Structure 1
């Protein structure tokens, strides 16, 4: 049975669309990527004139997209997984997932290429956290001979391995086609969602 309208997922989607429309109408996509994208090399001291504070860029990067296809796919995943996550976790839970996913994506992207000067943009990392939480909350777990807690962690490990494998393959394929996909960011966000789903669910119903 559905609860109230998933307002947080819709709000995040509307803000993302508004950002894309404004930046595109001003023809500022390239400049916005430098100003608000997460650039790993900035941690080592790279200076970018006019850029937002480094600590803020994992969030500002979620509002920047390379094109309609990039935006459209992210919105599809946001509205689908975000809606279902919000039913289980509530609006605050989805917001926490989104923010933590954005920062986890930035950390993973930094680990993958600490001296990279290419801005990481897009909400894919943050949305990957919503996908990870969805997989934990709604995925059907197969019967196991192991104790419940062990089986739960094995389930998380299996989902993580499968997602990582898919993202690495996508990253490899994108390089051969000359298209940049932040595979590491997707992995970081997804892992954050896997780990946060159950704690957020317990927190929401802590007084039940």
Structure 2
């Protein structure tokens, strides 16, 4: 079993990385492999609604940023945890630009993979950011893994995050719950959706 941990911060080893590392260490104790994948800090593309992914084997037409690499890694993983810093009470814009394309192009491959999000903030905006990230899962038939509190750590530096004992405990609990759900789902028959998907456009 393996969990993909996405570091959606422009800082490779900043506060978000510190929280994800706490998760990674706890997953290891639970016997679950994991990988922290950093999205980097180079320019990324937003979705332009070209619909080329519909005819590109579930891959985005743009292949000059991490979107398609994340698709491949997520397909190979059993679960995913997405981490982001909080900017103006929302997740990192570059991360959302990538995730919009990842989930639009390939979400059919993510069905029933457990997902969770975590956020890192200095003070406020954590709940709004947490909610935004979870929407990628709830539209993709992905069960959300919970913890003992909303998944956030507080601090302006990695050293301050390490002082947020409740936040770090929340990360460890999340990892333990993720491991439990993955083990519970192992070799289980997944739901089958017999109905053809309906789409309703609202018009006047």
Asked if Structure 1 and Structure 2 have the same fold, meaning a TM-score greater than 0.5 normalized by the shorter chain, the answer is no
Compare the two structures and name the one with the higher helix fraction. 1
Which has the higher relative contact order, 1 or 2, with Cα contacts under 8 A spaced 6 or more apart?
1
Identify, as 1 or 2, the structure richer in strand: 2
TM-score normalised to structure 2 length = 0.28
TM-score between the two structures when normalised by the length of structure 1: 0.27
